[in-house]
């Protein structure tokens, strides 16, 4: 689905009705770790159970009915992803295990073909390790230079620095749509346009963007877009790489073996057409079908309604947390360029202690480096506590977080 810029207010989201779709909330847990992995609604679980119980078979390989049904549902899920991203063709939709594998695919298959000694690769200091380590390895192997765009005091990318790096004609620009630690929504349309004008190939890590904002690959005009199913109410073990068709066509395979071939001879192999050239081995069939169901689910509620609900919760949480003495929130204030990821530091208490005490109150948050160690080095903190919201998050859960944080303070100031 494309990010709508309609001026009309989206229909309000009925959060209590939404929560009824998620059996896990019957446990009473306050789940504030959706940036890590989202919860799954019954609809997704049921789609997977239906596969396992009524048409379980491998895809693409057999001539019997069960396999044909499984293949058709698997390919129907691919079509849902295509429509979600407004891609021109399902040939551009490659199923992977997640964002990490998608980015590695590009770093290996595209990178080793296109990156040469002395080339410049541009990344940012706010990247998840998944969008940083593969480029480090590639740069090291090819003798390329890897440079990083810094952030300003509000956790926004320094566009002046980005422009200066673009003037050096980078081969690749890779950045996230939304930061998983700061919640910053990067100006990805403008950054893509500038990077393309500078002649760069552009990869956007949509792990935190796709679940909340969606993405329109044709409108944005990047070359690669990666995201994970499990952060958008789908299962783990399934993700997507969208790539511009001509790029994918020209790239060599990443993984090789069964399913990615047209014909194999002892001395050479003819590869399968897209997207199967990049889908070696038995695929995560139930998971792809589950991802398709997750897209149906989110689109049924409406990404605009989800975004509006999250904006409201983020503002509420930001204000409530700001009132706690000694608590410092990282990233921009609530607004159009900030999503519901709230990483913070509570003076004098290690985030692991914070999270452990919150857990005693039934509140789940992430503590640690959020797979963004260079960013935390830049912020000069060893770790953060991170509370993140999604379509099912309530004000009551935020109130529980705040009450539990007061308990943390009470315990540590005794």
Ligand X SMILES: Cc1ncc(COP(=O)(O)O)c(C=O)c1O
By CB under 6 A, residue 283 contacts ligand X? no
Q: What is the dihedral of CA 138, 144, 146, 147, to 10 degrees?
A: -160
20, two tokens: 């009824």
Identified binder of ligand X from the candidate list 34, 71, 104, 131, rule CB under 6 A: 131
Q: Does the protein bind ligand X through residue 34 (CB under 6 A)?
A: no
Residue 96, interface with ligand X (CB under 6 A)? Answer: no
Q: How far apart are CA 112 and CA 131, in angstroms?
A: 16
99 binds ligand X (CB under 6 A): yes
- The reply on whether position 243 binds ligand X by CB under 6 A is no
User: Which of 104, 208, 283, 393: binder of ligand X (CB under 6 A)?
Assistant: 208
* Selected catalytic residue, list 222, 233, 364, 371: 371
For residue 207, the minimal CB distance to ligand X (Å) is 3
Q: Using alpha carbons, select from 39, 301, 331, 290 the residue that is nearest to residue 176.
A: 331
The torsion angles phi and psi of 342, rounded to 5 degrees, stand at -120, 100
In the chain, the N- to C-terminal Cα span, in Å, equals: 51
What is the pairing mode between strands 224-228 and 239-243? antiparallel
> Which residue lies nearer to ligand X by CB, 207 or 285?
207
Judge whether 371 counts as a catalytic residue: yes
Taking the least distance from each CB to ligand X, the nearer of 70 and 233 is 233
Written as one string, the DSSP assignment of 22-73 is -GGGGGT-EE-BTTT-----HHHHHHHHHHHHHS---SSS--SHHHHHHHHH
**Minimum CB distance to ligand X smaller for 361 or for 378:** 378
41 with 22: CB under 8 angstroms?
A: yes
CB of 205 to ligand X, least distance (A): 5
Q: Which helix (H) or strand (E) holds 227?
A: strand 224-228
List the structure tokens of 215: 């993405």
Q: Tell whether residue 98 is a contact of ligand X (CB under 6 A).
A: yes
Residue 205 interacts with ligand X (CB under 6 A): yes or no: yes
Determine, following the binding rule CB under 6 A, whether residue 228 of this chain makes contact with ligand X.
yes
Report how many residues bind ligand X under the rule CB under 6 A. 13
Closest CA to 359 of 322, 392, 401: 401
Between 104 and 201, name the residue whose CB sits nearer to ligand X.
104
The stretch among 22-30, 205-213, 250-258, 330-338 that binds ligand X (CB under 6 A) is: 205-213
Contact positions with ligand X (CB under 6 A) in 342-371: 371
One residue of 48, 60, 157, 207 binding ligand X per CB under 6 A: 207
Question: Rule CB under 6 A: is residue 92 a binding residue for ligand X?
Answer: no
Which of 264, 282, 260, 284 is CA-nearest to residue 273?
260
Q: Which is nearer to ligand X, 208 or 394 (CB)?
A: 208
CB of 81 to ligand X, least distance (A): 15
**Residues belonging to the chain:** 414
Q: Which stretch binds ligand X (CB under 6 A): 42-50, 98-106, 133-141, 262-270?
A: 98-106
Minimal distance, residue 222 CB to ligand X, in Å: 15
Binding of residue 130 to ligand X (CB under 6 A): yes
Sorted by sequence, the CB contacts under 8 Å of residue 240 that are 6+ apart come out as 81, 85, 93, 94, 95, 96, 102, 225, 226, 227, 229, 291
Q: List, by residue number, the catalytic residues.
A: 371
Tell me which residues touch ligand X (CB under 6 A): 98-100, 128, 130-131, 176, 180, 205, 207-208, 228, 371
């Amino acid at each position: 689905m494309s990010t709508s810029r309609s001026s009309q207010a989206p229909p309000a989201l009925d959060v209590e009705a939404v929560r009824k779709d998620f059996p896990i909330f019957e446990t009473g847990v306050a789940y504030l770790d959706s940036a890590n992995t989202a919860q799954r609604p019954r609809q997704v679980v049921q789609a997977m159970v239906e596969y396992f119980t009524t048409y379980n078979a491998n895809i693409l390989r057999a001539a019997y009915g069960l396999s044909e049904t499984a293949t058709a549902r698997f390919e129907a899920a691919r079509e849902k992803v295509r429509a979600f991203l407004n891609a021109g063709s399902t040939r551009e939709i490659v199923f992977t295990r997640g964002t990490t594998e998608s980015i590695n695919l590009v770093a290996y298959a595209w990178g080793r073909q296109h990156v040469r000694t002395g080339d410049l690769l541009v990344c940012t200091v706010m990247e998840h390790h998944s969008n940083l380590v593969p480029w480090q390895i590639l740069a090291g192997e090819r003798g390329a230079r890897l440079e990083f765009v810094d952030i300003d005091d509000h956790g926004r990318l320094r566009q002046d620095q980005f422009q200066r790096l673009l003037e050096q004609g980078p081969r690749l620009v890779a950045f996230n749509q939304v930061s998983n630690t700061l919640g910053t929504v990067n100006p990805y349309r403008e950054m893509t346009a500038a990077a393309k004008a500078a002649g760069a190939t552009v990869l956007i890590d949509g792990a935190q963007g796709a679940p909340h904002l969606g993405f329109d690959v044709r409108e944005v005009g990047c070359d690669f877009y990666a995201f994970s199913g499990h952060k958008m109410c789908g299962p783990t073990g399934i993700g997507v790489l969208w790539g511009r068709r001509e790029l994918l066509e020209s790239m060599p395979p990443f993984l090789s073996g069964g399913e990615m071939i047209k014909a194999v001879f002892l001395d050479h192999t003819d590869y399968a057409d897209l997207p199967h050239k990049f889908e070696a081995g038995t695929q995560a069939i139930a998971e792809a079908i589950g991802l398709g169901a997750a897209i149906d689910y989110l689109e049924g509620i409406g990404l605009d309604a989800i975004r509006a609900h999250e904006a409201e919760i983020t503002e509420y949480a930001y204000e409530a947390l700001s009132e706690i003495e000694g608590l410092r929130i990282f990233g921009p204030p609530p607004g159009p360029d900030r999503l519901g990821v709230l990483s913070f530091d509570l003076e004098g208490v290690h985030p692991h202690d914070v999270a452990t005490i919150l857990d005693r109150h039934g509140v789940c948050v992430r503590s640690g480096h959020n797979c963004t160690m260079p960013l935390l080095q830049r912020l000069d903190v060893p770790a953060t506590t991170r509370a993140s919201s999604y379509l099912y998050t309530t004000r009551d859960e935020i109130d529980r977080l705040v009450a539990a944080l007061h308990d943390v303070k009470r315990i540590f100031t005794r």
